Amino acid sequence: MIRRRHSIILALPIALAGCASEVLAPSGDVAVKLRDVLGITTALILVIVLPVMAAIVWFSLRYSKKNRDSEAHYDPKFSHSTQLELLIWTAPLLIITWLGALTWVSTHKLDPYRPLDAETAGVTVGAEPLVVQVVSMDWKWLFIYPQYGVATVNELAAPLDRQIRFELTSTEVMNAFYVPTLAGMIYTMPGMQTQLHAVINKPGQYRGMSSHYSGAGFSGMNFPFYGLDQAGFDSWIEKARNSGQVLTRDAYQALLKPSENVPPAYYALGDQSLYHDILNRCVNAGQVCMDQMMNHGAQQAAAAKPTAEPAAEPAANGAGQDHTGHAAMPDMAPGAMPAAESAAEPAAGPTATPTMTSAAMPAMTPPDAQTPTHADHPAN
């Protein structure tokens, strides 16, 4: 039993090293820069942590009751040390400043939505990126290559030294896409699109996974990622294109059914607008796409916006405007409508909206109430 326990303890560092190898020794330049930020941050933190840990041991030994020399160094009148105060405050301030500068620069440089620049190893500025549309499903990954007209399930590949632009969404459940050798993880959400830019610089087979719990089949949402030279990538594309399966809307509906530990599958892309409709929640016939609804609402709002210019400039103190800057409505008594403007009033200009006369809109007042006048309500 003891030997078995020792074997487990000895094997644990090896297993952890295997899990962390792609994090600490990645093959993509974006992941390398993320690792460097992690290493620098850890080193800066250790500048404080290690001296504090050493000081704890030193103080414990120096002022221990068993140490006879501690009474000789004891100073009951000690109350202040300028050197000690400088050390206590200067070191943390410097480290916080360094960490702040590092975080500011790396946050902007490694923004997943930011296209890669010439500082990224292997990337040629101006070259067309590889677009991969990613859909997280229950419980598998769908990868669509719109530039090549193919799609795969639970297998991903990319050519070396070419920028990859991932466009990611989800069918039902929020998830997280993570290929440690490429870049950091990024969330996928239904009805929304996130982006991730990355590059692979060394050939090999790497691990991709879901890093966000999403239900019973979460543990099986793993997939291989292949970094290939251009010839190998072209062969991989042809393999998918000639698989004999076509990703139509009916085939997609079949993939929507929850399934676990799904093996890789390859398709020729039968509908170029499939990802758009997945993102906008309108795959089924008769559904209205979200982007169409939003555009329709924006057009209605623009059409309903008044085009007449105000007759007078607003007061300098902002009177006559609400908190948004729009013209404020006059105060109205309950149950009363504003008095109709006289038809004899001249129009504000050729583009002014015609005024409504009392004949066009009679005052809606109770029979026993007096019709409000301009004296009762201020005119617009």
- The C-alpha atoms of residue 54 and residue 125 are separated, in whole angstroms, by 49
- The C-alpha atoms of residue 131 and residue 143 are separated, in whole angstroms, by 10
Which token pair is 115? 């296209």
Report which of residues 197 and 319 the model is more confident about. Answer: 197
- The C-alpha atoms of residue 65 and residue 16 are separated, in whole angstroms, by 42
* Mean predicted confidence (pLDDT) in 117-125: 92
The architecture of the domain spanning 130-279 is: Sandwich (2.60)
**What's the pTM?**
0.73
Per-residue model confidence as pLDDT tens digits over 41-79: 999 999 989 999 999 999 888 878 787 777 767 777 888
- The C-alpha atoms of residue 150 and residue 48 are separated, in whole angstroms, by 53
- Among the ranges given (6-10, 210-214, 264-268), the one the predictor scored with the smallest mean pLDDT: 6-10
Per-residue model confidence as pLDDT tens digits over 172-202: 999 999 999 999 999 999 999 999 999 999 9
Residue 120 has pLDDT above 60, yes or no: yes
Report the percentage of the chain scoring pLDDT > 70. 75
Residue 349 has pLDDT above 80, yes or no: no
pLDDT tier at 138, thresholds 50, 70, 90: very high
* Mean predicted confidence (pLDDT) in 90-96: 91
Report which of residues 282 and 356 the model is more confident about. Answer: 282
Query: Residue 347's pLDDT is what?
Result: 41
Residue 371 has pLDDT above 80, yes or no: no
85-95 CB burial, b ≥16 within 10 A, e <16: eeeeeeeeeee
- The C-alpha atoms of residue 48 and residue 90 are separated, in whole angstroms, by 11
Query: Residue 117's pLDDT is what?
Result: 93
Query: Residue 341's pLDDT is what?
Result: 39
Please give the DSSP secondary-structure letter assigned to residue 132: E
Query: Residue 50's pLDDT is what?
Result: 95
Please give the DSSP secondary-structure letter assigned to residue 190: B
Q: How many CB atoms lie within 10 A of CB 292?
A: 12
Query: Residue 255's pLDDT is what?
Result: 97
pLDDT tier at 370, thresholds 50, 70, 90: very low
Residue 359 has pLDDT above 80, yes or no: no
Distances, alpha carbon 298 to alpha carbons 42, 80, 228, 287, in Å: 49, 67, 45, 19
249 by Cβ neighbours in 10 Å (0-12 / 13-18 / 19+) ranks as middle
The DSSP code sequence of 199-241 is ---S-EEEEEEE-S--STTGGG-EEEEEEE-HHHHHHHHHHHH
pLDDT tier at 16, thresholds 50, 70, 90: very low
Per-residue model confidence as pLDDT tens digits over 143-167: 999 999 999 999 999 999 999 999 9
* Mean predicted confidence (pLDDT) in 33-48: 94
Residue 309 has pLDDT above 70, yes or no: no
- Among the ranges given (205-214, 300-309, 347-356), the one the predictor scored with the smallest mean pLDDT: 347-356
* Mean predicted confidence (pLDDT) in 13-24: 63
pLDDT tier at 378, thresholds 50, 70, 90: very low
Query: Residue 369's pLDDT is what?
Result: 41
Residue 323 has pLDDT above 50, yes or no: no
Residue 134 has pLDDT above 60, yes or no: yes
Residue 14 has pLDDT above 60, yes or no: no
Query: Residue 93's pLDDT is what?
Result: 93
Residue 15 has pLDDT above 70, yes or no: no
Residue 312 has pLDDT above 90, yes or no: no
Per-residue model confidence as pLDDT tens digits over 262-287: 999 999 999 999 999 999 999 999 99
Helix 29-62 × helix 82-109 angle, to 10°: 160
For residue 142, which of 233, 266, 273, 283 has the smallest C-alpha distance?
Answer: 266
Q: Provide the β-strand partners of residue 310.
A: none
